[in-house]
């Protein structure tokens, strides 16, 4: 095996060291970020770095930087990234995590003000009962109204706040210190309020809808939120996580080796998002090598990502599924990561727009706009950077 350039190896060492420092001393990360003038790229000494050439890694870095510049340029005066009101503050939170995943922080650097304003917007969206959602909820669930999107807003924003906590100023940290326990209480109350015993432990929408009260998509976000909160030192009742993991395991379809979206009726189907979400949920509990996760990973390998912005397998949103697949692939490692990530890189770089953004989703999620698809695309490219704590295996 030929030697790689010393500069690339050194960059790999810096990337791994920064991933550690990111958690314990964010100010140092900000300084390192300013020094590199962009994301800390994955060098040849980083795990699985050889799945792309140095030239390809450089293209990935450039793609991410152009996308971040587009997001920053489109930030609204209130700190949000533009989308439908029903998608807030989730889309803004995805945008924040996109910056964090590339090594940017709130404590100095090119995008510190962008991130601070976005986090403040997200905090301002928390309602009196602790729900992290801009739109008010309704007594019934109608697609894309407040009750439909509330728990997506809640879980994604809770996850972002858990990742940000401890890397901002004292006043904002104090706000997050109050916001996260309230948000955890919201989840605990709804986790047990189910019409069927099989749905116990999971989450879906704010109000009961159709055949199920829990699904893999919503449950995965809530589990990532709880994991992030626990990593940040918040009190997360163990039974919440145990019951949620049991729900995920019940969604496993042993006949087909996949995680279904839901357990009952018309909600019992498979998407790339549901399979990737199941892998992520169990992997975060240390079950990378379980038969369920391994067979689901094999199913992901057989999916076609090359037809950009189309429905993969039985359905689901393209960028959403791509993000889950990338994160799941990294968690699994080995052949899964080596097969999935280069394909994801190829299709995303090929279809990035000249302004740095990616086209909006096709289908029902198209209304959430380019901020949504662009943030998810960045998050699909950055797991190997290992700078976002929730990504770390």
Percent of the residues in the chain that have a pLDDT greater than 90, as a whole number: 67
Mean pLDDT value across the chain: 85
pLDDT at 145 (0 to 100): 62
pLDDT at 18 (0 to 100): 39
- Is the domain 6-391 a CATH 1.50.10.20 member? yes
pLDDT at 200 (0 to 100): 92
- In this predicted structure, the answer to whether residue 211 has a pLDDT above a threshold of 80 is no
pLDDT at 10 (0 to 100): 30
pLDDT at 93 (0 to 100): 98
Choice between 375 and 18, residue whose per-residue pLDDT is larger: 375
CB-based contacts of 32: which residues, under 8 Å, 6+ apart?
14, 18, 21, 40, 103
Segment holding 258, helix H or strand E:
strand 258-259
Orientation of helix 54-73 relative to helix 369-381, angle to 10°: 150
d(CA 218, CA 205): 8
- In this predicted structure, the answer to whether residue 259 has a pLDDT above a threshold of 50 is yes
pLDDT at 311 (0 to 100): 66
pLDDT at 90 (0 to 100): 97
Percent of the residues in the chain that have a pLDDT greater than 70, as a whole number: 82
* Sign of CA pseudo-dihedral 300, 218, 93, 70: positive
* Weakest mean pLDDT among 115-119, 135-139, 252-256, 293-297: 135-139
Choice between 149 and 332, residue whose per-residue pLDDT is larger: 332
Q: Which of 3-7, 262-266, 292-296 has the highest mean pLDDT?
A: 292-296
Choice between 391 and 170, residue whose per-residue pLDDT is larger: 170
pLDDT at 14 (0 to 100): 34
pLDDT at 33 (0 to 100): 40
- In this predicted structure, the answer to whether residue 221 has a pLDDT above a threshold of 60 is yes
C-alpha to C-alpha distances, 72 to 115, 159, 167, 357, 368, nearest whole angstrom: 9, 21, 20, 11, 17
- pLDDT tens readout for residues 342-382: 999 999 999 999 999 999 998 878 889 999 999 999 999 99
- pLDDT tens readout for residues 110-122: 999 999 999 999 9
With beta carbons less than 8 A apart as the criterion, state whether 297 and 332 touch.
yes
Mean pLDDT of 171-199: 93
Structural domain boundaries of the chain? 6-391
- In this predicted structure, the answer to whether residue 99 has a pLDDT above a threshold of 60 is yes
Pairing of strands 252-253, 258-259: antiparallel
pLDDT at 341 (0 to 100): 97
Residue reference for tokens 């533009």: 82
pLDDT at 6 (0 to 100): 29
Number of other residues whose CB lies within 10 A of the CB of residue 36: 16
pLDDT at 137 (0 to 100): 67
pLDDT at 265 (0 to 100): 85
- In this predicted structure, the answer to whether residue 222 has a pLDDT above a threshold of 50 is yes
pLDDT at 371 (0 to 100): 98
- pLDDT tens readout for residues 303-346: 988 889 986 555 678 999 999 999 999 999 999 999 999 999 99
With beta carbons less than 8 A apart as the criterion, state whether 156 and 216 touch.
no
Orientation of helix 238-250 relative to helix 272-283, angle to 10°: 140
- pLDDT tens readout for residues 36-95: 344 455 544 455 678 999 999 999 999 999 999 999 999 999 999 999 999 999 999 999
Q: Model pTM?
A: 0.88
């Amino acid at each position: 095996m030929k030697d790689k350039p010393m500069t690339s190896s050194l960059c790999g060492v810096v990337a791994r060291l920064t991933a550690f420092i990111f958690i314990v001393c964010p100010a140092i990360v900000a300084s390192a970020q300013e020094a590199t003038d962009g994301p800390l790229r994955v060098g040849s000494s980083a795990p699985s770095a050889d799945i792309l050439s140095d030239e390809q890694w450089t293209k990935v870095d450039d793609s991410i930087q152009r996308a971040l510049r587009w997001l920053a340029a489109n930030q609204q005066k209130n700190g949000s990234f533009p989308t439908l009101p029903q998608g807030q503050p989730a889309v803004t939170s995805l945008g924040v995590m996109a910056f964090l995943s590339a090594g940017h922080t709130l404590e100095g650097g090119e995008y510190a003000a962008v991130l601070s304003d976005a986090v403040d917007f997200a905090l301002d969206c928390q309602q009196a009962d602790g729900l992290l959602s801009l739109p008010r909820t309704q007594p019934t669930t109608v697609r894309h109204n407040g009750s439909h999107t509330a728990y997506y807003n809640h879980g994604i924003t809770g996850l972002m706040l858990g990742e940000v906590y401890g890397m901002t100023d004292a006043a904002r940290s104090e706000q997050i210190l109050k916001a996260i326990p309230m948000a955890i209480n919201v989840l605990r109350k709804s986790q047990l309020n189910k019409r069927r015993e099989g749905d116990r432990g999971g989450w879906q929408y704010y109000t009961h809808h159709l055949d199920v009260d829990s699904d893999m998509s919503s449950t995965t976000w809530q589990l990532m939120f709880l994991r992030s909160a626990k990593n940040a030192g918040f009190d997360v009742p163990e039974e919440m996580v145990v019951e949620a993991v049991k729900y995920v395991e019940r969604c496993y379809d042993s006949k087909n080796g996949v995680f279904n979206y839901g357990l009952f009726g018309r909600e019992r189907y498979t998407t790339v998002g549901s399979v990737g979400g199941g892998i992520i949920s169990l992997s975060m509990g240390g079950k990378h090598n379980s038969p369920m996760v391994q067979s689901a990973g094999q199913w992901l390998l057989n999916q076609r990502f090359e037809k950009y912005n189309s429905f993969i397998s039985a359905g689901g949103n393209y960028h959403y599924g791509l993000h889950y697949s990338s994160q799941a692939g990294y968690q699994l490692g080995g052949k899964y990561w080596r097969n999935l990530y280069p394909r994801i890189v190829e299709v995303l770089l090929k279809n990035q727009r000249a302004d740095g953004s990616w086209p909006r989703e096709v289908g029902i999620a198209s209304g959430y706009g380019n901020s949504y698809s662009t943030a998810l695309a960045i998050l699909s490219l950055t797991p190997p950077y290992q700078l976002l704590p929730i990504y770390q295996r």
